[in-house]
Amino acid sequence: MDKNYLVTKSNTLITASYDLNLQEQKLILTLASMVQPTDEEFKEYEFKIKDFMELLGIETQTKYTEIPKITKELMKKVFEIREGKDIIQLSWLSSARYKTGEGLVILKFDSSLKPYMLQLKELYTSYKLENILSLKSKYSLRLFELLKCNEFKKIWTIELEELKKILGVTEKSYSIYQNVKNRIILKAQKELKEKTDISFDFEEIKTGRKVTTIKFYINKNKANIINKSTALDEISIDVSEDNKQGEIDMQEGIKTIILMMKEHNITPSEAMKIYKSANGDIHYISKIYNHFKNKGADNFVALMIKMVKPGEFIEPKKSFKKTGFNNFTPRDTDYDELERKLLGWDIDEEEE
């Protein structure tokens, strides 16, 4: 469990409507940071309750009774995701096991969340767990995720009522816009600027005299990114001051690769070579890694450096039934043999 781990969720899950308190959200996101993007199934994750409480910032003499209360409430909370005309009801955890006398808890995500957290290829968002651990408002945390999800657009416009629905705002007092502005938006604006890697400005759009829509302007919080421990001790990236953002993007990309490939114990310098070979395309690196990670290559790093180069990887074609549109004879390629060669395995040919 590390604050530098990445939280990765599908945008569909991020924009779902649910109401979790601050501790519940931090517990879920800490657990999510343990999940690897290439995992095919959820695993059980074991935590020391003492470490977990410190990470969540809970200080109480009865701390060993707090986590069971949080997980018990989480097990009860069902939320909904809309997919087209379908409404899917989901729960967060499938189990929570406590090792009494050992101070340990073992948690596992509900399998229904797999499509929204595992094997993600598109429309997902990743961020460092560190960004949310010091936030004090549950709405600031949720707004951070929503803005991070739309960071690439730089501008995100949403109707006020839709925003309140996603945030799980149900209190009657929030029917007054000024309360939403003061207690949620302005508070989040202050917290995100002080504690996360993004900040925002916003514009109120009115229908008549009533505010009905909010337009967010999303910015990288460069001061926070640079001041936080983003430098990697084992590498040195020589860039000009004008290209400071390029350095930041590379550092974040290298850390992502190290976490992604932690089973192979690659070094920062090796991760940098993979990053540069792929021209910084993390999604493509993840795709190649997912294909080769269990193949037992003699030199895994060299294989990744080669295969992430644009145009190097030949994805095996899947067999498919011929129809009137594809009744041609494909080129006869032995993809198993090709893959063995790429992996550096010796191939013994026997004459019959």
The packing angle between helices 335-342 and 300-307, to 10°, is 120
> Do 1-129 and 134-229 share a fold?
yes
Has residue 341 got a pLDDT over 80? no
- Phi-psi category of residue 5: left, alpha or beta, with phi > 0 → left and psi -120 to 50 → alpha: beta
Mean pLDDT of 213-229: 75
Has residue 336 got a pLDDT over 60? no
Assign 1 a pLDDT band (cuts: 50, 70, 90).
low
Has residue 211 got a pLDDT over 50? yes
User: Is the Cβ–Cβ distance between 303 and 288 less than 8 Å?
Assistant: no
For 82, the 3-state DSSP assignment is strand
Alpha helices in 168-267 (DSSP H): 177-180, 186-195, 222-227, 244-260
What single string gives the DSSP state of each residue in 207-218?
ETTEEEEEEEEE
> What would the pLDDT profile of 106-130 be if each residue is shown by its tens digit?
999 999 999 999 888 788 888 889 8
Assign 264 a pLDDT band (cuts: 50, 70, 90).
confident
Amino acid at 175: S
Residue 145, C-beta contacts closer than 8 angstroms, at least 6 positions apart: 9, 14, 125, 127
DSSP 274: H
Has residue 137 got a pLDDT over 90? yes
CATH code of the domain occupying 1-129: 1.10.10.10
Which residues are paired to 106 by β-bridges?
Answer: 46, 97
Fold classification of 134-229 (topology level): Arc Repressor Mutant, subunit A (1.10.10)
For 305, the 3-state DSSP assignment is helix
Has residue 342 got a pLDDT over 50? yes
- What tokens does 157 get? 């416009």
Would you state the pLDDT for residue 233? 38
Mean pLDDT of 183-208: 95
- Give dist(CA 144, CA 48) in Å, integer: 28
For 219, the 3-state DSSP assignment is strand
Identify the weakest region by mean pLDDT among 59-68, 168-177, 231-240, 271-280: 231-240
Assign 249 a pLDDT band (cuts: 50, 70, 90).
confident
What Cα–Cα distance (Å) separates residue 297 from each residue in 148, 200, 228, 262? Answer: 36, 45, 36, 16
Would you state the pLDDT for residue 205? 95
Task: Look at the pTM and tell me if it is higher than 0.75.
Answer: no
Has residue 292 got a pLDDT over 90? no
Domain residue ranges of the chain, discontinuous segments joined by +: 1-129, 134-229, 234-342
- What tokens does 172 get? 């009657």
Has residue 351 got a pLDDT over 50? no
In the chain, the percentage of residues whose pLDDT exceeds 90 is 42
Amino acid at 275: Y
Has residue 158 got a pLDDT over 90? yes
Assign 167 a pLDDT band (cuts: 50, 70, 90).
very high
- Give dist(CA 218, CA 190) in Å, integer: 14
Assign 144 a pLDDT band (cuts: 50, 70, 90).
very high
Residue 14, C-beta contacts closer than 8 angstroms, at least 6 positions apart: 125, 145, 146, 149
Alpha helices in 126-184 (DSSP H): 130-133, 138-149, 160-167, 177-180
- Give dist(CA 212, CA 200) in Å, integer: 19
Would you state the pLDDT for residue 296? 76
> What would the pLDDT profile of 22-78 be if each residue is shown by its tens digit?
989 999 999 998 887 678 899 998 888 887 777 766 666 566 677 788 889 999 999
User: Is the Cβ–Cβ distance between 131 and 3 less than 8 Å?
Assistant: no
Provide the mean pLDDT of the chain. 82
In terms of Cβ atoms closer than 10 Å to its own Cβ (0-12, 13-18, 19+), residue 158 is: middle
E runs forming strands in the chain: 6-10, 45-48, 78-83, 86-91, 93-99, 104-109, 124-128, 155-159, 198-207, 210-220
Instruction: Compare 289 and 4 and report the one with higher pLDDT.
Output: 289
Beta-strand relationship, 104-109 and 198-207: unpaired
Instruction: Compare 331 and 171 and report the one with higher pLDDT.
Output: 171
Which of 173, 175, 177, 166 has the alpha carbon at shortest distance from 206? 177
